Amino acid sequence: MIKIIFHILNTIFVFLYVYPGSLLGFLIYKDISKQPRLSADFFPSLFSISSNHVYVFLLLSSLGLISYSNNLKIIIIYLILISIFLELLHFFIPNRSFQFSDLFGNIIGVLVPILILILFNYWRKK
C-alpha cells in the first residue's frame, strides 16, 4: 500500500514540477504566477532554502525509502537524481525558473530521511 502511495505522489509531484506555472497557485489564488507557501524559507538572509521543496521531498523520500527498503541503493540514486533533474527542467519550462533555493530544498529533503535511516540502522545494530 505504501508503495502505491509513493508512486501516486511521485507522479503528482512530477506533474506539478513540469506544469508551466503554478497549478496550485491557479487552484488556490486563480493566478499561475503565485506559489502557495507552507512556511517561510529556511535561512533567508544567508542562503535561502525553499521550505516547500524540503517538505515535498521529505515526504516523497520517506515513502520511497520505506517502500523500497530492499533496494536502498537504487531508490537513493533515484531520489537524488529526480530532485536535481526536476529543478533543472525549470530552465526549459515556460513560466518556471530555476532557483538554487529550490534545488537545495529538494536535495535536503532527500538527504534528511537517508541520514535518519542510516542512524536508525546504526543504532539498531548496536
Q: What is the pLDDT of residue 104?
A: 94
Distance between CA 89 and CA 76 in Å, rounded?
A: 20
User: Which pTM was predicted?
Assistant: 0.85
Task: For 100-124, write each residue's pLDDT tens digit.
Answer: 999 999 999 999 999 999 999 888 8
Q: Which three cell numbers stand for residue 109?
A: 529533503
pLDDT tens digits, one per residue of 37-63: 777 778 776 778 888 899 999 999 999
CA torsion sign for 119, 44, 39, 103 is negative
pLDDT of residue 47: 78
CB atoms within 10 A of CB 1: 6
In whole angstroms, what is the distance from residue 22 CA to residue 29 CA? 10
| Chain segment 3-45, per-residue pLDDT in tens | 999 999 999 999 988 888 777 777 777 777 677 777 777 877 6
For residues 117 and 11, give the distance between their C-alpha atoms in angstroms, rounded to a whole number: 24
